[in-house]
Structure 1
Amino acid sequence: MLSGLDPSGGAGIQADIQAITSIGAHPLPVLTCLTVQDTRNVYGAEPVSPDLIKQQLECLAQDTPIHAIKTGALGNAEVVEVLVEFVQKHSGVPLIVDPVIKAAGGGDLADDALVAAMKDKLFARAEMITPNGVELAQLGGSDNPAEAARNLLQTGCESVLATGGHGSGIHIINTLYNHAPEPMEWEVERVGANEYHGTGCTLAAAIAAGRAMGLSPRAAISQAQNYVHRALLHALTVGQGQKVPDRGILWER
């Protein structure tokens, strides 16, 4: 997986490592950016050298079978170029894209050039992208979720899992849009009244782990949602901001 470093340990590459390990797969973490961040917000970010990322990806691919790729915060548009080149060489590997744009506290994690690069070049390579409600509206150019998802499907991605954690109500509804006549919905009980730090990272990483282990996309989504739900039931109070999912929970596969 490729993602950013969150010093609070709540999101980013740490969330990916913990979730993938808990599901039962082995993570290959490649760091894309360093952030100034806590459980309340993101205050700054600096990308890792794209050439270094390219070297890491090539080194790993020569040594280790790669069964799925998951992305989070990517740092800048140049990193997207490196990733797209790598994915083209591994076209049979499922690519799960968590299109991280903003932190829950409102801090930016992607500039306009990075957003454009994801939409123009990366999404077409993705098996699934997993935007939350805010990201879906911004990337899809519409406040109507179905219309925004259709717009994203037109970029070439196979499916869009619109996550409902940023909404309200006693249930979270996650909706999978693809090229089938009707979308598929999952209804998950909402845990608490507040949002959590790193939930989107955790869900996307768990989906990628399931795909790497041979589950179908739908089965991987179902397993990942159950895992995230349990992690939220045992959420940790790490700092003064959002709680953090307990991704170290014992997970019965």
Structure 2
Amino acid sequence: MISGLDPSGGAGIQADIQAVTALGCHPMPVLSCLTVQDTRNVYNATATDPEIIRQQLECLAADSPIHAIKTGALGNAAVVDVLVEFLAAHPDIPLIADPVIKAAGGGDLADEALIARMKERLFRHAEIITPNGIELTLLGGDEDETRAAHNLLEAGCQSVLATGGHGEGEEIINTLYSHDQEPLYFYIERIGGEYHGTGCTLAASIAAGRASGLSARASIAQAQNYVLRAIRHALKVGNGQPVPDRGIPWET
């Protein structure tokens, strides 16, 4: 996984490591950016040197098989360029891209250049991108989520999992949009409230499923159930949003 550091331990690379480990996979974390962050908001961020990331990816690939990649906050557009070059050389590795743009508290985690580079270069390499409602309408350029998702597909995305955690109703509805087929709906109980790091956890869990050999649909279903279980046991870490307990024992 290639994600940012959240010093509160609620999101980012820590969430990825915990989720992937809980689902029986071995994480190989590459740190894309450092943040000043707590359970309430993000206040500052700085990207890792892209050349270090390049060296890390090449070093890992030469030593160990990589069965899936998950991305989160990427820091800046130069990091995207390094990642795209690596993906072009390893086209068979499934990529699950969580297009992190803003923290729940409103703090920015991506500037316009990074957003543009993800849309222009990264998303076409992703098997699934996992935007929440806010990210989807921004990236797709339309307030209607269905039209926004189709705009992303037309721009080169293979599939878009529009996550419904920010909506309302008794159930969360995550919608998978793909080329040449009707949308596929995944339903899960809505616990209520906002939780810090659920998007990171969902995307990392999908990547763990793909790395384990599950299909994309089975990976999404397993990931939803894992996130729901983690939210049910959420921890009150700070004064902001509770943190999903990703360390709970997982049973398939």
Shorter-chain TM-score tier: over 0.9
The 2-side partners of 1:127 and 1:229 are apart by 23
| Aligned 1:61-210 pairs, distance under 5 A | 61-192=61-192, 194-210=193-209
Is 1:243 aligned to 2:212, yes or no? Answer: no
Alpha-carbon shift at residue 181 of structure 1 (Å) = 2.9
1:51-104 C-alpha deviation (Å, 9 max, x unpaired): 000000000000000000100000000000000000001101100000000000
The 1-side partners of 2:181 and 2:77 are apart by 34
The 1-side partners of 2:99 and 2:154 are apart by 16
The 2-side partners of 1:210 and 1:180 are apart by 24
The 2-side partners of 1:145 and 1:249 are apart by 33
Where do 4+ consecutive residues of structure 1 move more than 2 Å?
A: none
Identify the residue that residue 216 of structure 1 maps to in structure 2: 215
Structure 1: runs of 5+ lacking an equivalent: none
Structure 2: runs of 5+ lacking an equivalent: none
Alpha-carbon shift at residue 9 of structure 1 (Å) = 0.1
Task: Compute the TM-score of the two structures, normalised by the length of structure 2.
Answer: 0.99
SS at match of 1:236: coil
Identify the residue that residue 2 of structure 1 maps to in structure 2: 2
Aligned AA for 1:79? V
SS at match of 2:107: coil
The 2-side partners of 1:107 and 1:250 are apart by 32
Identity among equivalent pairs (%): 71
The 1-side partners of 2:181 and 2:57 are apart by 37
The 2-side partners of 1:104 and 1:35 are apart by 14
The 2-side partners of 1:63 and 1:159 are apart by 30
- CA RMSD, aligned part only? 0.6
Equivalences, count:
252
1:95-127 C-alpha deviation (Å, 9 max, x unpaired): 000000000000000000000000000001110
